[in-house]
């Protein structure tokens, strides 16, 4: 089985000339240059980010909590957040009513 696959791409004439010049100057094939250009693009656009030791430890702790059943469902969380919002809204309403009374 091949370790590479052949593809066909279209390039504007000026870009093809630049590719040929760079290949001749560096004594490299067009394929090598295009592979390097694509690898650079992927590294810049989609960098691989490794988790830190602290992040990995936090993930392990979270997974252990889930196994123990120590978690909230999305519904529970939204209910809890909704309750907090309603309480905040009540406080704001009281303040507004005091201002009006003054």
Do residues 41 and 71 share a domain? no
DSSP character string of 32-100: HHHHHHHHHHHHHHS---PPPHHHHHHHHHHHHHHHTT----HHHHHHHHHHHHHHHHHHHHHHHHHHH
Per-residue model confidence as pLDDT tens digits over 7-24: 999 999 999 999 999 999
Flag whether 32 is in a domain.
yes
* Confidence band, pLDDT 50/70/90 cuts, at residue 2: confident
Same domain for 40 and 65, yes or no, is no
Instruction: Find out whether 51 and 65 touch, Cβ atoms under 8 Å.
Output: no
**Number of compact structural domains in the chain:** 2
State pLDDT tens for residues 28-72.
Answer: 999 999 999 999 999 999 999 999 999 999 999 999 999 999 999
Same domain, 57 and 39: no
Indicate if 37 and 74 belong to the same structural domain.
Answer: no
In this prediction, residue 1 carries a pLDDT of: 76
In a domain, 6, yes or no: no
Return the closest-CA partner of residue 35 out of 15, 7, 14.
7
pLDDT surpasses 60 at 92: no
- Its pTM surpasses 0.85: no
Name the residue range of residue 95's domain. 53-101
Residue 3 counted as domain residue: no
pLDDT value at residue 58:
97
pLDDT at 83: 77
Residues 79 and 62 in one domain: yes
Give a yes or no: residue 21 inside a domain. Answer: yes
Q: Is 26 exposed, middle or buried (0-12, 13-18, 19+ CB in 10 A)?
A: exposed
């Amino acid at each position: 089985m091949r370790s590479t696959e052949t593809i066909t791409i279209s390039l504007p004439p000026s870009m093809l000339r630049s590719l040929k010049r760079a290949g001749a100057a560096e004594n490299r094939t067009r394929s090598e240059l295009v592979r390097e250009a694509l690898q650079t693009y992927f590294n810049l656009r989609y960098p691989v980010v490794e988790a830190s030791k602290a992040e990995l430890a936090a993930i392990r702790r979270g997974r252990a909590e889930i196994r123990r059943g120590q978690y909230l469902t999305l519904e529970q969380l939204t209910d809890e957040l909704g309750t907090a919002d309603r309480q905040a809204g009540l406080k704001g309403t009281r303040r507004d009513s005091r201002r009006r009374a003054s």
